[in-house]
Amino acid sequence: MVDKLTAVKGMNDILPPESARWEALETTVREVMRLHAYRNIRTPIVEPTALFVRGLGEVTDIVEKEMYSFEDRLNGEQLTLRPESTAGVVRAVVEHNMLYEGGKRLYYMGPMFRHERPQRGRYRQFHQIGAEALGFGGPEVDAELILLAVSLWQAMGLQDVRLELNSLGQPPERQQHRAALIAYYEQHIDQLDEDAKRRLHSNPLRILDSKNPAMKALNDAAPRLLDFLGADSLAHFNAVKAILDANGVAYHINPKLVRGMDYYNLTVFEFITERLGSQGTVCGGGRYDYLIGEIGGKHAPAVGWALGVERVLELLKEQGNASPEVAADAYAIVPEASSLPQVMPVLQTLRSMGVSVQMHAPAGASDGMGSMKSQFKKADASGARYALVFGADELASGQVTLKALRDGQGAQRSESLQQIAEWGHRLQSTLLP
């Protein structure tokens, strides 16, 4: 026996039937994105390290300690597995000059990589779905993105998430607040943890984002960025709130909400649940009007969010949402292997009509097809609604037996293979939800 290889710590296999939840969620997302006219973008998983250092900010958790970075073996280029997708989307938008004829609304789904301590809701490979609106500066698009997220929660049946909202203002307002923040923390220097001490002069706003409970009281009493906003920033914030109010979307203002990346300005928000312990943020985003310029594009405003797929699925499960159906509609029982050349085209026809069919197949190449009894057992265990029995005698007379396995208490009837178009269609329509 050779040693067993296992998955990398913090990186999960997503197996059936669990994977059906993922597919259902992705289907819902595609539909909701289509309804809001957001279009799909797919960027590489590997990007130049400099993209994230420049984009996310040097003094952030992600860039300081969470990135999977390596050197390209052949040309020595510094590369990183993407820890998030906004920077990559912005790079692509700039590289392909996508804003030349106006703003773009985009969405993505895919794996992200962060070297964190694995725990419930926190993994090293995890998945995000994100929406970005680039080239739009007005508060209505901030609100549109929040409404889009709320529509997603409704379509998925997700409950118990609350929206927290804040404004980070503009760089000059941040500068003033920063000075006040440094002065405040300097007065309480003995209460700062290691991270906070290190960030005091490099990025004091980040201290507010601390997950250390010992820092909470101190952070609660810190100067509020909201109190430093000028008239324009306040007007933007109020306009977002007014649209949310008009749409009946409830929110809480959280003056300590700063988000984990440096690229945000004005509106920032998170959707949070109490039901997943400390990993309670299911979605976060905000405006990032300076990132496109930072990455080398012509200045253009933008706003977006990303949700954590594992956390959303965990919450749906926690709420008791049922798992989607994974069984095939019909299970094909084939007593004689010699019938397969005649049977398999029939199965293909049924599939082309929208009936999903699982064909009985033995484990070993030289095993027979197995007894009718054992095949029926497998059919039952598969969860299929119907068994299709292709007995040799029936086939010889152009017939197949259709037997209800679940509802109909084993009712069965003979169908003519000649008339498959007719009964196949009938079968398909009984399967509709």
Site for ligand ATP, rule CB under 6 A: 84, 114, 116, 121-123, 126, 128, 260, 279, 281-284, 306-308, 310-311
Longest dimension (CA), the chain: 93
Q: Using alpha carbons only, how large is the chain's radius of gyration in Å?
A: 28
Nearest CB to ligand ATP, comparing residues 207 and 369:
207
- Strand duo 357-359 + 399-404: pairing: unpaired
- Do 223 and 181 meet the contact criterion of CB atoms below 8 Å apart? yes
Nearest CB to ligand ATP, comparing residues 303 and 388:
303
Per-residue b or e along 374-403, where b marks 16 or more CB atoms closer than 10 Å to that residue's CB: ebbebbeebebbbbbbbbeebbeeebbebb
Nearest CB to ligand ATP, comparing residues 218 and 283:
283
Determine the Cα–Cα distance for residues 331 and 121; give it in Å rounded to an integer. 37
Determine the Cα–Cα distance for residues 317 and 115; give it in Å rounded to an integer. 26
Residue 208 CB, nearest approach to ligand ATP (Å): 12
Determine the Cα–Cα distance for residues 153 and 146; give it in Å rounded to an integer. 11
Peptide bond into 139 cis (omega under 30): no
Nearest CB to ligand ATP, comparing residues 114 and 360:
114
Nearest CB to ligand ATP, comparing residues 279 and 358:
279
Look up residue 214 and give its amino acid.
A
Residue 428 CB, nearest approach to ligand ATP (Å): 39
Residue nearest to ligand ATP (CB): 308
Closest Cα partner for 151 from 305, 41, 286? Answer: 305
Residue 83 CB, nearest approach to ligand ATP (Å): 8
* DSSP letter, residue 256: T
Residue 397 CB, nearest approach to ligand ATP (Å): 58
Residue 168 CB, nearest approach to ligand ATP (Å): 14
Determine the Cα–Cα distance for residues 351 and 346; give it in Å rounded to an integer. 9
Tokens found for residue 22: 């993922």
The CA-based dihedral angle spanning residues 113, 145, 52, 45, taken in that order and rounded to the nearest 10 degrees: 40
Residue 163 CB, nearest approach to ligand ATP (Å): 13
Nearest CB to ligand ATP, comparing residues 280 and 293:
280
Tokens found for residue 409: 């208490």
Nearest CB to ligand ATP, comparing residues 139 and 284:
284
Residue 98 CB, nearest approach to ligand ATP (Å): 23
Angle (nearest 5°) at CA 304 between 200 and 318: 90
Nearest CB to ligand ATP, comparing residues 237 and 269:
269
- Do 157 and 321 meet the contact criterion of CB atoms below 8 Å apart? yes
Residue 66 CB, nearest approach to ligand ATP (Å): 8
Nearest CB to ligand ATP, comparing residues 21 and 311:
311
- Do 31 and 23 meet the contact criterion of CB atoms below 8 Å apart? no
Determine the Cα–Cα distance for residues 301 and 196; give it in Å rounded to an integer. 31
Nearest CB to ligand ATP, comparing residues 52 and 126:
126
Residue 158 CB, nearest approach to ligand ATP (Å): 12
Residue 308 CB, nearest approach to ligand ATP (Å): 2
